[in-house]
A and B are shown apart, each in its own frame.
Chain A
Amino acid sequence: MSVLVYLALYAGAAVFVAASLVRAWMYARAPLHLRWELYPVPHEDPAKVKHGGSYFEDKDWWTHKRAYNLAGELGVMVPEMLFLKALHEFNRKLWYRSFPFHFGLYLLIGACGLLLLAALLGLFAPTLMAGALGMAFHWLYTVVGVAGVALALVGAVGLLHRRLTDEDLKTYTTAGDIFNLLFFIVSFGVLCAGFLLRGPGGPGVLAMVQGLLTFNKTLEVPGLLAVGIVLCALLAAYIPLTHMSHFVGKYFTYHDVRWNDQVNLRGSKIEAKLVEYLTYKPTWSAPHVTADGKRTWADVATTNPWEGAKK
């Protein structure tokens, strides 16, 4: 049983990381698109961010040195990532369900990190973990983990309830959307049940993580808990294959689209990319485009099919 659990966990983690990286790589390698920013752009001058202004508000803006306001960007990014600020502002009803769900997942990830750290310390510095530090770790990952699972579970049930009952959402809800939420609920539910019903004498969570790290085949993982862990591993592998990978997509929608106000200066890297794109050969069929698969974008853009024609 323990071997199956270990393999599932390693495989789940590997697929999660690999699929997320592949997705990120796919978005990152897309050509630099035309500018499509939305204001406010938080890395602008703080005096401008207040009203959503841009450097276009400055006379002869191209003669000014542009400052990148990292603090401003973090000031928007961090609350958005941690507390789903946009949802809180624009869709409070959904936020009451979505926030506990997402924050619960963050706590779970945090608990996993703490467990991993505790397990490593336990393996490599057992004397350090024998006393108060070990006890502190124990309480910390237990509280964070239990809170995480509970919040995520409550949030997922709330989201499922809304999906099934809200008329505005029903039209757009697919079988996959229901399955995704049920997958979370069942996985976390079984994990919780397995943890609570694991009985005396079985290995603790820390021992299981250490077993995972050392591939300790002698460890007896209780059946229900093992099922919960395997389900969670499958869930981790499944997430980046779906639209729930928005933790990857969101980076690009914000940084590459909404906030991308980088200026194309003569001789810049941006200009070099544009020069390359202008050699692409479009195949659009409408006659006015004058694309035939042989002519480049530069040819198309500098062709005026109507020049000299009478009105």
Chain B
Amino acid sequence: MTDKIKLTDMSLPGRKPLAHVENKDLMPLPYPLESPEKDHGWTALTEKVMGAVECGLDDTCALNIPQPKTKEEEDELVKKFLAGLDKLFTKENNWTFLQPLVLSMEHCAKCQTCSDACHIYEASGGNELYRPTFRSEIVRRLYFKSVKHGGVLSAWQHGDIEINWPLVARLAELAYRCNLCRRCAQTCPIGADNGLVAHELRKLFSMELGISAKECHDNGSVLQLKVGSSTGMSSLVVKDNIEFIDEDMTEKTGIKVETPWDVEGADVLLIHNAGEIMAWPENPGAFAVILNAAGIKWTLSSELAGYDSINYGLWYDDAQFARVAIKHAQAAKNLGVKKIVLGECGHAHKALSVIADRVLTGDLNIPRESSMTLLRDIVMNGRLKLDPSRNDFPVTLHDPCNMVRLMGVVEPQREVIRKICPQFREMWPHGVDNYCCGGGSGFAIMSGNNFQDWRFHVSGRKKMEQVLNAFSDCMDPSIHKYICAPCSNCKGQFRDMLAYYDMWAKQSILYGGLVELIVNCMVDAKPGFIDWEWH
């Protein structure tokens, strides 16, 4: 590990990375990943990348910010950054988060209570750069210096920081070294929120300088607003795919499956994360089996964005967020449905249910509900005939931060699992105290350069530890084990991380959603819905 980094190092000229982490520095993992020597090495950034984009922070690079060619160009970018910083603290530009941001700027006691709560800081072996307050303290000093125009007295009271392009470029990258899980905020005695600071920083870069992660913006919210889904599927393609899934599910379960489209006046408009349709078709398929069997009057929508619940703006841009949320609400309004039910996607849950609650007004304010609640109601009220012995294998439950800590949907999924999975065991800690999967805030879809190395070694490490501990009593490749992760982004992170550590081949650890477990034990369905194959 590099020497301890100081706040002022962020302004150091040049592009030499400030932090370097090696396997031996990282938080140890339990069996069978306990040996740092046997762990994968980190892919180094190429000379080409190092010479073209800003990578002066650490071992990776998430944003690919082109290096400015001249000093004038650098100064112009710094000027824009400072203009954006000012805008963050005006109600016209940032009524959305002004009050909580100012509170976090003005009241942090710098007690570092939050550090122990951060999975990234802990997994990195306590690297100073990843301490939750490191980023916030830089922003705080900038706030007092530039926004509040503090002079010498203010610098003495709040600390000083040199404002230059290296600082701005490193800060942009540093905004993408936080999962925005807000576990740190939960422990803050004052109520300051480092996750919010990272979120606001991302907003500043996106909304003022047009700098954001390509996977979240160009390939994410822009694509969704352009064709209807971040997967690139148009409504025609998605209908084709669902038709294929229906056929496949019919064959697999022995139950005729038909997905209804654009049913006016339906009780439920179900919106999946469209990534499920592409990557895990058994998930939307299982939803269709369950809702049809339970007699729910439901529908999917083929309107623009109406068939993809993702809202990546949640992580980096208020304008993109509001646009997508409104599209979702309009799809529901046009069909005249009674409520929107969100499929197994954590960030979509929070985006549309919680955050959009203060964006949607009038007839766009249509009730939104979690699929966890609907599924609990179906399972616990005996609307399906279930045989839990079909699920007699070790199952643990991952709590998606957006659904649990940030929305309070904790028990419905547990009630279902307790009823249908005889070998259910909790991770520790769990519920609202859970750890992020390491893919939160867009990381699960980000894989540019060597970013995956960082997200498996650092941001996902704590979750890997939790999974291994939850299954420590059955670490035998002949025993199939199931991580239930009712969230598409979390599943993406599990898929990539389990593959990286070869945990399916070596330990038979599989991941999937909640609906798959339900259909797997439906008496009316053919046995073996979960096929125990890696995909």
Contacts and interface: CB of A to CB of B under 8 A. Distances in A.
Interface in A261-311: 261, 263-266, 270-271, 274-275, 277-278, 280-291, 297, 300-307, 309, 311
Contact of A91 (B93, B111, B157, B373): B111
Interface in B446-482: none
A176 B160 CA distance: 11
Contacts of B412: 57
A36 B112 CA distance: 22
A127 interface: no
Interface in B386-437: 404-412, 431-432
Contact of A169 (B112, B190, B373): B112
B431 A52 contact: yes
Nearest to A257: B100
B291 to A, nearest CB: 14
Contacts of B217: 288
Given A94-B113, A250-B191, A242 B157 contact: yes
B99 A252 contact: yes
A56 B103 contact: no
Instruction: Output the residue of A38, A51, A86, A265 with the most chain B CB within 10 A.
Output: A38
A271 B6 CA distance: 45
Interface string A10-47: 00000000000000000100111111111111001000
Contacts of B206: 286
B358 interface: yes
Contacts of B362: 266, 271
A87 interface: yes
Interface stretch (A59-67, A145-153, A198-206, A211-219): A59-67
Given A33-B96, A283-B92, A284-B207, A38 B186 contact: yes
A124 interface: no
Given A31-B91, A253-B192, A266-B362, A168 B411 contact: no
A280 B113 contact: no
Contact of B408 (A44, A253, A284): A44
Interface string A171-185: 111111101000000
Given A266-B365, A282-B92, A34 B355 contact: yes
A258 interface: yes
Nearest to A174: B159
B4 interface: yes
Contacts of B177: none
A34 B97 contact: yes
A84 interface: yes
A120 to B, nearest CB: 35
Contact of A286 (B97, B99, B207, B360): B207
A252 B103 contact: yes
B209 interface: yes
Contact of A53 (B110, B157, B232, B411): B411
B323 A304 contact: yes
Dominant secondary structure of chain B at its interface with chain A: helix
A61 B408 CA distance: 13
Nearest to B432: A52
Interface in B323-343: 323, 326-327, 339
A176 to B, nearest CB: 3
Given A87-B189, A246-B107, A35 B357 contact: yes
A73 interface: no
Given A59-B377, A285-B208, A27 B99 contact: yes
A91 B190 CA distance: 13
A174 B319 contact: no
Contact of B110 (A35, A84, A169): A169
A36 B156 CA distance: 32
B190 A35 contact: no
Q: Interface range on chain A: under 10, 10 to 19, 20 to 34, or 35 or more?
A: 35 or more
A87 B113 contact: yes
Nearest to A275: B361
A264 B304 contact: no
A257 B103 CA distance: 10
Instruction: Output the residue of A58, A171, A256, A291 with the most chain B CB within 10 A.
Output: A171
B252 interface: no
Nearest to A304: B225
Contact of B369 (A34, A59, A286, A287): A59
Contact of A249 (B103, B186, B369): B103
B359 interface: yes
A264 B99 contact: no
Interface string B105-127: 01111111101110000000000
Contacts of A254: 191
Given A90-B187, A281-B92, A177 B361 contact: no
B83 interface: yes
Nearest to A251: B191
Contact of A39 (B304, B339, B373, B410): B410
B83 A285 contact: yes
B406 A38 contact: yes
A309 B99 CA distance: 37
Instruction: Output the residue of A30, A48, A309 with the most chain B CB within 10 A.
Output: A30
B432 A283 contact: no
Nearest to A166: B112
B93 A171 contact: no
B117 A243 contact: no
Contacts of B407: 39, 54, 56
A40 B404 CA distance: 9
A298 to B, nearest CB: 9
Contacts of B363: 266
A240 to B, nearest CB: 11
A38 B354 CA distance: 11
A301 B92 CA distance: 14
17 contacts: A32-B358, A33-B96, A39-B404, A51-B410, A57-B372, A167-B4, A172-B7, A179-B156, A245-B107, A246-B109, A249-B106, A252-B103, A253-B100, A256-B100, A288-B222, A288-B320, A291-B319
> Which 7 pairs of residues, A with B, have the shortest CB-CB distance?
A54-B408, A253-B191, A176-B157, A52-B432, A30-B99, A301-B322, A249-B107
Given A54-B407, A57-B411, 4 more contacts: A34-B358, A38-B406, A87-B189, A306-B225
